[in-house]
Structure 1
Amino acid sequence: MRWACILFPQLAMDGVLRQRSDADAPLVLLAGTAQRRRLQAVNPAARALGLKPGQSLTAAQALSQHFATAEYDPAAIERWQQLLAAWGYRFSAQVSLHYPRCLLLEVQSSLGLFGPWPRFEARLREELTALGFQHRITVAPNPAAARVLANAHDGLAVGDETLHQALAPLPVERLGFSREASSAFARMGVRNLAQLLALPRDGLAKRFPAEVLSQLDTLLGQRPLALAFYRPPDRFEARIELNFEVESHQALLFPLRRLTADLATYLAGRDSGVQRFVLYLEHRNRPASQVPVGLLSAEREAAMLFELTRGRLEQQQLPEPVLAVRLVARDLPPFVPEHQRLFEERPQQSLPWEQLRERLRARLGDDAVQGLGARADHRPEQAWSSQSADVALPPCGPRPGWLLAEPQPLREGSVQVQAGPERIESGWWDGGDVRRDYYRVETRAGQRGWAFRTVGNDGPLLLHGWFA
């Protein structure tokens, strides 16, 4: 087996920056009590101002006033890890969050699907960059070795033959030992794994806890690491708190795009779609406004979800300024991709009917897009009704696609009868009783029509519709 470890060195900062449209502006994350606020993390723009983690907020403000602040939220870090696990689940059935701020993937089983590791790695990096998360990736024969190699390397891939050589120069403080064990090794003059492995094993067993030898065996692949594997939940929920009170729809588009992109990422990992979800707009002095989005079929494309939600949002009046945006999706049916032709003539000008239908419904309203449905009535003028666009037409025999508003008499000899008569007697219960004999006719020009004569009437045929 081969395990990839994806380390996120600034997960908390990336989680905040990806929610901001000004990601390049100076930003610091604050922690500590209200009396002693300190900088937990800083982005590169803030570091350029002389700010660094561990400083007090007072000292940072003495250096510069031109930086934004946000709260360091451990719960948010957990949510980002869950999102990343859902993303990784589309590439491997064995995904683990065993280590903090890390994602473990078993990739050996996925190489046949995603290609050799260099190509697979490039795809992982491309998607993580698009999601807005900085990362380091290493590959090793076991997850523990992959994790410790990520402390010192990025892009390193080792096999069973080169594992010992790659681990040997690593400092002991980066091998996953406890702080007490690492300090003891430092006092002994043991600086790296190679020197540690040169010590007698029975001596280590006497002087150190059993966890030290256990960690050594796990790193070298001699002892398996017990992992709890990720399983995607049955609902999706994400929230973005805005930096200021938003009073226009336009300012809500950036967080909306991020929320729908995260939903699409979650759905792709779960191999499902979404059919109904709700966008909540949170206010200060009143309950959250709800923007329900209902689809006629499951979707999961990020651009489509954003477009549909945007259409619904623009129809919503904002009763108060918006402080936060939350998206909740519970109806997550299986997703069946559309079967498309191998050679599409003009793919840039074509749009699947399902997507066009959803866009029209989002822009114009649920009742604006209608289809035709058949009613249980034999009278042609009563047999059709406008229904929801997803209602399929049942088979009802040969009927013209175009019915005239008023039947028109035909001149004798202008048409030739092809089939008939077909008698229709109906409508006695509502006062619209009809008794007609219908014929399929054809004109001299080749047009095919549907005409009738009232039973007991010897007058001319009345044209009621045209066949396509």
Structure 2
Amino acid sequence: MLWACILLPQLALDTVQRGRDDANSPLVLIGGPAQRRVLQAVNAAAADLGLRAGQTLTAARALADGFTCVEADPARIDEVQQLLAAWAYRFSAQVSLHYPRALLLEVGSSLQLFGPWTSFEARLRTELQELGLRHRIVLASNPVAARMLVNGHDGLALTCAEQTRAALANMPLDRVGLPADAAQALSRMGLRRLGEVMALPRDALAKRFAAPVQLHLDQLFGQRALGLDFYQPPDRFESRLELNFDVESHQALLFPLRRLINDLAAFLAGRDCGVQRFELHLEHVEGPDTVLKVGLLAAEREATMLFELARGRLEPLRIPAPVRNVRLLAADLPAFVPQHRALFDPRSQQAQPWEQLRERLRARLGDEAVMGLRAEADHRPEHAWQASEQGAAGSLAVAPGSRPGWLLPQALALPEGGLQWLGQAERIESGWWDGGDVRRDYYRIETREGLRGWAYRDLAQPGPLWLQGWFA
């Protein structure tokens, strides 16, 4: 087995910053008691002002001005960790959040599916960057070793137990997860590296130190297994972003909306499912939430498409009051069936599948503006085609090309000059039971421009040729 550890060294700060669209403005994360507020983390722009983690807030304000202070939110940090576990579940069935700010996943059984580790690692890093999370990654032969090695390495790949033991032997004692008192005692003995400790007699270590120290060393070198609780994805997705300021325009809501949709897409990919309905809750300072419901005719999970659909529903909406928070809820998560594509798809890169175009039109124009057609058991063309909801099944199957795809609202008189007649006439006599009796001979015709139509002569009232529809 091979275990990858993804360490998120700035998870608390990244959790705050990924919800803000001003990434280049100075931002600090503060904590501690009210009498002595301390900077816990700073972003790059704040560091350029001379601010550092560990400074008191008073000293930071004396040193610089114009930076934003934000409190760390443990609940939001836990929510992001759960999202990461759902994302990693796409790559491995054994995903664990055993260590804080770190993700463990067994990848040895995934290499045949996702390629060699170099390309697999590159894919992990790319997707983590898209999620807005800084990270370090190490591959080792057991999960405890991977977690401790990532304290001092990034990009290290150890594919066997011998390589893992050799790398562990060079690790400083304060980086391998030993209890603080044990690490200090070993340091006072003149030991600096883990390899020097492992060279000592095992019985002597057992007499001098408590049992958990020896247990941790055994787990580091793979001599004993660490019991891990593996992640199980939930049956619904729910995420909430606090804006920390009042928003009154649709444009200002697009950034948090995109972040929530990207998180939803990562969750769906991890569960290997799609979403057919989700709700966007705009939480106001006062009054009930404004709920925006987005429904699709088929399950989808592509972030770009879901964002465009939500955006199309959001922009026509009148926001009744300033928005303070945004929450996304998705409970309808059916199985996702990817669209079948040919190996050499003749469509251009800009062309969209019909399903995606249909959903975009519904989002922009409304559900009632985009309808389907169904065939009814009636020979009269004006009664045979009926409008229906997209995806609704008709009561009659129609052979492709037997009837025109575009039926005119009213038949138009057609001059016969320059027409080419295609095939024999088709007679339709029907409708005597409801007062709409028709007796017609239908013909397929072609105009000088190459357009093919469907025209008839009324046998009850002889007259001109009437055009009733066009073939695609």
Per the normalisation by structure 2, the TM-score is 0.89
- Asked whether the equivalents of residues 418 and 439 of structure 1 are also in contact (C-alpha less than 8 Å), the reply is no
Please tell me whether the aligned partners of residues 453 and 467 of structure 2 are also in contact (alpha carbons under 8 angstroms). no
Match of 1:395 in 2: 397
Deviation at 1:120, TM superposition (A): 1.3
Q: Which residue of 2 aligns with 1:337?
A: 338
Deviation at 1:348, TM superposition (A): 2.4
The code of the aligned residue for 2:12 comes to: A
Quote how far apart the aligned CAs of 1:110 are: 1.4
1:253-293 deviations in whole A, cap 9, x for unaligned? Answer: 11111111111111111111111111111111111111111
Find the aligned partners of 2:461 and 2:199 in 1 and give their Cα distance. 114
Which deviates further from its counterpart, 247-256 or 375-384?
A: 375-384
The structure-2 alpha-carbon separation of the partners of 1:96 and 1:439, relative to structure 1 and needing over 3 Å to count, comes to: same
Which ranges of structure 1 fall in alignment gaps of 5 or more residues?
none
SS at match of 1:323: strand
Which amino acid in structure 2 is aligned with residue 19 of structure 1? Answer: G
For residue 45 of structure 1, report the CA deviation from its aligned partner. Answer: 2.2
Q: For residues 400 and 84 of structure 1, what CA distance do their matches in structure 2 show?
A: 51
Residue aligning to 1:196 = 197
Question: What is the CA-CA distance between 1:48 and the residue it aligns to?
Answer: 2.8
Contact in 1 for aligned 2:361/2:370 (Cα 8 Å) = yes
Deviates more, 1:401-410 or 1:262-271: 401-410
Contact 2:428/2:442 (CA < 8 Å) preserved in 1? Answer: no
Question: Between Structure 1 and Structure 2, how many residues are aligned?
Answer: 460
SS of the residue corresponding to residue 368 of structure 2 reads: coil
Contact 1:9–1:134 (8 Å) recurs in 2 = yes
- Deviation at residue 39 of structure 1 after TM alignment: 1.7
Deviations along 1:29-62, whole A, 9 cap, x unmatched?
Answer: 1212333322222222222323222332222212
Instruction: Kindly indicate whether residue 115 of structure 2 is the aligned counterpart of residue 125 of structure 1.
Output: no
Paired position in structure 1 for 2:18: 18
Distance 1:148 1:228 in 2: 18
Q: Distance in 2 between matches of 1:161 and 1:416?
A: 80
1:418 matched to which residue of 2? 424
Q: Matches of 2:6 and 2:422 in 1, distance apart?
A: 77
Deviation at 1:7, TM superposition (A): 0.6
Is the 1:280–1:326 contact (alpha carbons within 8 Å) kept by the matching residues of 2?
A: yes
Q: TM-score, normalised by structure 1?
A: 0.90
Aligned residue runs from structure 1 range 127-276, under 5 A: 127-158=127-158, 159-276=160-277
Separation in 2, partners of 1:289, 1:93: 38
Distance 1:338 1:32, change over 3 A: same
CA contact (8 A) 1:373 1:384 kept: yes
Q: Distance in 1 between matches of 2:444 and 2:98?
A: 76
Greater CA drift, 377-386 or 303-312: 377-386
Identity %: 58
1:14 and 1:134 in contact (8 A); partners too: yes
Tell me the alpha carbon deviations over residues 65-115 of structure 1, each in whole angstroms, 9 at most, x when there is no partner.
221011111111111111111111111121111111011111111111222
Distance in 2 (CA, whole Å) between partners of 1:197 and 1:331 is: 54
Aligned twin of 1:36: 36
Change (3 A) 1:172 1:403: closer
Sort the Cα spacing of 1:44 and 1:467 in 2 relative to 1 into closer, same or farther, 3 A. Answer: closer
Q: CA deviation at 1:14?
A: 0.8
2:47 corresponding residue in structure 1: 47
Give the match's secondary structure for 1:196: helix
8 Å Cα contact 2:246-2:322 kept in structure 1: yes
**Equivalent residue runs for 1:96-107 within 5 Å:** 96-107=96-107
Q: Determine the C-alpha separation between the residues in 2 that align with 1:105 and 1:265.
A: 16
In 2, Cα distance between the equivalents of 1:340 and 1:13? 41
- The secondary structure found in structure 2 opposite 1:348 is coil
Task: Assess, with a 3 A threshold, how the Cα gap between structure 1 residues 260 and 416 changes in structure 2: closer, same or farther.
Answer: closer
Query: Residue 384 of structure 2 corresponds to which residue in structure 1?
Result: 383
- Measure how far apart 1:441 and its partner are: 4.3
Q: Report Cα offsets for 1:140-178 as digits up to 9, x if no partner.
A: 100100111001111111122222211112122222222
Distance in 2 (alpha carbons) for counterparts of 1:266 and 1:421: 57
Cross-structure match for 1:91: 91
Whole-angstrom distance in 1 between the partners of 2:97 and 2:423: 76
Letter in 1 for 2:300: E
**Contact (CA 8 Å) 1:400, 1:450: kept in 2 or not?**
no
Closer, same or farther: CA 52–452 of 1 in aligned 2, 3 Å: same
The amino acid that maps onto 2:30 is: L
Distance 2:18 2:148 in 1: 27
- Structure 1 residues 408 and 71, CA gap change in structure 2 (3 angstroms): same
- For each residue in 1:164-218, what CA deviation from the matched residue of structure 2 results, as whole angstroms up to 9, or x when unmatched? 2111121222222222322232233332211211221112222222211111111
Q: Secondary structure at the match of 2:30?
A: strand
Alpha-carbon distance in structure 1 between the residues aligned to 2:372 and 2:349:
26
Deviates more, 1:394-403 or 1:217-226: 394-403
Bigger mean CA offset, 359-368 vs 36-45: 36-45
Evaluate the alpha carbon distance shift between residue 290 and residue 307 of structure 1 in structure 2; reply closer, same or farther with a 3 A threshold.
Answer: same
SS of 1:328's equivalent in the other structure is: strand
Distance 1:116 1:337 in 2: 25
SS at match of 2:363: helix
Q: Could you say which residue in structure 1 is the equivalent of 2:349? A: 348
RMSD between superposed Cα atoms in Å: 2.7
Q: Is the 8 A contact 2:445 2:455 kept in 1?
A: no
- Matched with 1:279 is 280
Quote the offset at 1:23 in angstroms: 1.2
Deviation at 1:402, TM superposition (A): 5.3
How far apart, CA to CA, are the structure 2 residues paired with 1:232 and 1:180?
38
Q: CA shift at 1:415, angstroms?
A: 7.6
Aligned mates of 2:432, 2:30 — CA distance in 1 = 78
Provide the rounded CA distance (Å) in 2 between the counterparts of 1:448 and 1:58.
81
Which secondary structure does the structure 1 equivalent of 2:367 belong to? coil
In 2, the alpha carbon distance for the partners of 1:274 and 1:71 equals 33
